[in-house]
Amino acid sequence: MKIKINSILTLTLAVLLSVSCSDNFLEEKKNYNQTDDSFYESQKQTEWYVNNLYYDFFSAYKSPILNTTGLYNDTNSRLTEEIGGVYDLTNPQINLVNPADGSGYYGKTLSDKTQPDPYNRIRDCNSFLNDIDVKGASLDKTFRDQAKGQVYYLRALQYYDLMRVYGGVPIVISVENATSTDQSIQLPRASVTEVVNQIIADLDQAALLLPPKWDSGNYGRFTRGAALAQKSRVLLTYASPLFNKNWESADRWEVALQAGLAAENQLTADGFGLYGNSAKQWADMFLIDNAFCPEAITVQLMATGNTNVYLNNAWEKSIRLVSQGGTGGLEAPKEMIDLFPMADGSKPTVANGYNPFLFFLKRDPRFYRTFAFSGSKWGYKENTNPVAWSYRWLDASGKAYYSDNNQENSPAYVRKMSNTSVTNANSYQYSGTDIFEYRYAELLLNIAECYAAKGDINNALGYLGKIRARVGIASANNYGIGTLTDKYAAIAACLYERQIELAYEGKRYYDAQRWMLYSDESLDGTVNTTCAKLGLNPINDTKRTGHYLEYINTATDADPLLSSRTGISVDPDAANFQTQLQALAAFYTSNFQLTDLETPMDNVNKVEVSIKFRPNYYIMGLNTEVLTQNPWLQQTIGWNGASSAAGTYNYQE
C-alpha cells in the first residue's frame, strides 16, 4: 500500500535513463513538433515519457530542506529561524523592487528552447495529455488513465508553486508554439482564484484516474490519496491571509477542511496513518527506504551508488560533523533550540523549568531526534558508538582551539533524518535515504488549522493531540498546549506545532509566507494584520543567534577535557536516558559556558543585523527578461515594471 512520489523511480528509472533509454527518445520527446504519431503506440515509450517527466520535475530534490518544484534549492529555508545567515531577501541593507531583482523562476513563457523552467514542464504535460488518448488509443485504457493521472498531478504541482511564488500566472493547458505575432496566445496573468480552480480541476482528475496503490515494481508513483492530500495543501494556502484578505471568514477554510478530511478518509482506507507510537519510531520512520511507510504520502526515492547513475541524498553529508566525515554540521540557531516545548508539551519558559544553558533537559521527545549536541551519541556504519563533541577552549594568548576539529557556531546542530547505519565512505556522498516530501502528520496539521480558523477549537486540539500523543507527550493540559481562548490562539498553536513537527523539512518558509508573519506591513491594495491578530512576534527585527560552547578555564593547545569526557554519552534510546542527561548537565555546569560568536550568525560584513523581509517579497515580481519578452504581462504590486512604472497586479484580487 503506497501513495508515494519519486522523481526517477530510483534504481529502475535511473538505469533506464542512463542505459536503456536512448538519446533519441529524450531528444524526440523534447522536440514537440516532430514527435512521430506512432510514438504513443508503445506502452514502453509512453511510460518512458512519464518517467522522464518525474525526472524533470524532481531530479534536483536531493535534500529535505529544498523546495519549489523544479528549482529545489535551500534559499527559502534560510529565510526563517531554522538556519542562520543573511540573504538578499532578509538583508536590511537591500531593497529589492526593480524587475532586475525579480525572480527568475518563471522562465520564458512558451519558449521554444528546452530550458528546465516551469512552462516547459507544463508544456511537456500538455503535450502528453493532448495526445495520449488519440495517438495512444490502442494502448490499454487502464494504463492510459493511470499515466494521465500522474501527469495531471504533475501539472497541478507546477502551477501550485508558480502560484506560491507569483500569485496569478497565465494558464496554459494546450501545446502552443512560441511566436511574437499570434495575439491569441498572449495570455494575461490569471487571478489566483482562476489558477487555484485549474489546479483543483487537475487534482480532481488525478484522483479519479490514479489507483489507491501500485504494485511493488511501481513503488513511488502518485496515487489517489496523494492527489487528495495535495488538494488539501492547495486549498489551505488559498484560504490563508496571503491570498485571502477575508481570511477571518470561514468560507474558504470550510472548503479546505472538507478536502483535508476527504484525503484523511482515503488515506486511512488505503492503510495510512501516523507511524509508530514513540519518539524513537517517529525518528525511525524517516529511514524506511524504498518500502512502504504509512506516514509517507509522497516520497522522493534515493539510492546508493555513483551519482552519475543514481540520485543520492545530500542531506547526510551536509549535517554531519567534520569528526564524523561530514562537511561541518548544520548549526541550530538559539531561536530554534529555545523553540521546542518542554517534555510535558508546555512552552520553554523559565516558569516552566527551562534553562537555556542546559537546553537539553526536560525537552519534547522530538528535540533529541531533531538535534545533537556535545555529549550526544551519534553513530554511523563504521562506528556505531561515537559521541559528538564540539566545544572550544582558549590558550593563554587567547588563541582558540576546537574539540575534534568541530568548529561549530552553536551548541546544538541538526540530526533529524540522519541515518546511523549509512557509511561515511566518500563523506556520505552516496546516501540512499529517501526524503518524505509529504507526511501524514502534515495532513493532520492542515486539518487542525482549518478547524482552528473556523473557530472549532476542540477539533483543532484533537488533531494537535494526535501529533503529540504519537511521540509520547502526556495528555494532561491538552498535551501541554493548555487552554486556547479563541480561534487566533488556536491558529497560533497550529503554526507552532508545524514549526516543531515539520522542522527542517522545507515547510517553514511557505507557512510564514502564507500567513505573512514577517511583519504587519501592508502594500497598497493588500491587507495584513496577522501577527497582531494571532499574538505572534513578527520575524522582522529578530535575528538568528549562535554561541560557542566554551571551556570555562584557560588551557594549552591540548584538549583539556579529553580524558574527563570519557564515559559521557547521551542516547535517547537508552533505558537510563534521563540519568545520562543529568550526568551531562553536571559536566556542562562544571566545564562550559556559552560565549558570543566572533562573527555573528546574521551579519553583513561581520556586523550583526536583524532580519528585514519587505512586504513586496511575499509575492515575487517578474524579472526584466520575462517582462521584456511578454510585455502584456502585468507586474506584481510592490515591484516596478520594465518601464519603471509601479506594478498593478494584485494577488489578493
Q: DSSP letters along 353-397, please?
A: T--STTTTSSB-TTHHHHEEETTBB--BTTBSS-B----EEE-TT
1-5, 181-185, 263-267, 468-472: which has the minimum mean pLDDT? 1-5
- Cell representation of residue 74: 535551500
> Once rounded to an integer, what is the mean pLDDT over residues 496-517?
98
Identify which of 502, 441, 501, 439 has the alpha carbon closest to the alpha carbon of residue 297. 439
pLDDT of 35 reads 57
Q: d(Cα 646, Cα 653) in Å, to the nearest integer?
A: 17
Domain for residue 637, yes or no? no
107 vs 179 pLDDT, higher one? 107
Domain for residue 561, yes or no? yes
Q: In terms of residues, how long is the chain?
A: 653
Rounded to whole angstroms, what are the CA distances from 538 to 136, 510, 612, 614? 54, 15, 10, 12
**CA-CA-CA-CA torsion sign (598, 602, 605, 610):** negative
17 vs 335 pLDDT, higher one? 335
Asked if residue 328 and residue 296 are part of one domain, the reply reads no
Asked if residue 319 and residue 269 are part of one domain, the reply reads no
Residue 190 pLDDT more than 60? yes
Taking all residues of the chain, what is their mean pLDDT, rounded to a whole number? 92
Identify which of 236, 237, 414, 227 has the alpha carbon closest to the alpha carbon of residue 337. 414
Confidence band (pLDDT; 50, 70, 90) for 105?
very high
Residue environment code for 605-627, b if the CB has 16+ CB neighbours within 10 A, otherwise e: eeeebebbbbbbbbbbbbbbbbb
254-263, 308-317, 322-331, 604-613: which has the minimum mean pLDDT? 308-317
pLDDT of 306 reads 81
Q: d(Cα 53, Cα 49) in Å, to the nearest integer?
A: 6
pLDDT of 3 reads 29
3-state secondary structure of 490: helix
- Cell representation of residue 461: 486540539
Asked if residue 89 and residue 184 are part of one domain, the reply reads yes
pLDDT of 39 reads 86
Confidence band (pLDDT; 50, 70, 90) for 355?
very high
Domain for residue 230, yes or no? yes
Residue 439 pLDDT more than 50? yes
Domain for residue 71, yes or no? yes
CB-CB neighbours of 345 under 10 Å = 23
Residue 15 pLDDT more than 80? no
Q: Are the CB atoms for 293 and 415 separated by under 8 Å?
A: no
Domain for residue 266, yes or no? yes
Confidence band (pLDDT; 50, 70, 90) for 109?
low
Q: d(Cα 20, Cα 12) in Å, to the nearest integer?
A: 10
Asked if residue 223 and residue 125 are part of one domain, the reply reads yes
Domain for residue 527, yes or no? no
Residue 110 pLDDT more than 80? no
Q: Which domain holds residue 394?
A: 315-431+547-596
Domain for residue 500, yes or no? no
> Once rounded to an integer, what is the mean pLDDT over residues 613-640?
96
CATH number, domain of 257, equals 1.25.40.390
Q: d(Cα 147, Cα 79) in Å, to the nearest integer?
A: 37
19-28, 363-372, 599-608: which has the minimum mean pLDDT? 19-28
Q: d(Cα 155, Cα 119) in Å, to the nearest integer?
A: 10
Give Dmax over CA atoms of the chain in angstroms. Answer: 82
Q: Identify any residues that bridge with 73 across adjacent strands, giving them in sequence order.
A: 67
Residue 29 pLDDT more than 70? no
Residue 51 pLDDT more than 70? yes
**CA-CA-CA-CA torsion sign (509, 514, 518, 523):** positive
Domain for residue 306, yes or no? no
Tens digits of per-residue pLDDT, 137-160?
999 999 999 999 999 999 999 999
Asked if residue 338 and residue 282 are part of one domain, the reply reads no
3-state secondary structure of 548: strand
CA angle in degrees (0–180, nearest 5) for 379-384-388:
40
Instruction: Enumerate the H helices of 187-321 as residue ranges.
Output: 192-209, 224-239, 251-269, 279-284, 315-319
Q: What is the number of H-type helices and E-type strands within the chain?
A: 20, 10
Residue 174 pLDDT more than 60? yes
Identify which of 473, 215, 438 has the alpha carbon closest to the alpha carbon of residue 341. 473
Q: d(Cα 19, Cα 309) in Å, to the nearest integer?
A: 9
> Once rounded to an integer, what is the mean pLDDT over residues 471-480?
98
* Terminal Cα distance for the chain, rounded: 42
Q: Are the CB atoms for 150 and 222 separated by under 8 Å?
A: yes
Asked if residue 32 and residue 157 are part of one domain, the reply reads yes
Asked if residue 281 and residue 320 are part of one domain, the reply reads no
CB-CB neighbours of 183 under 10 Å = 9
* Domains of the chain: total: 2
Tens digits of per-residue pLDDT, 626-637?
999 899 999 999
pLDDT of 178 reads 66
Residue 179 pLDDT more than 80? no
- Cell representation of residue 21: 533509454
pLDDT of 17 reads 28
> Once rounded to an integer, what is the mean pLDDT over residues 9-37?
38
> Once rounded to an integer, what is the mean pLDDT over residues 242-249?
96
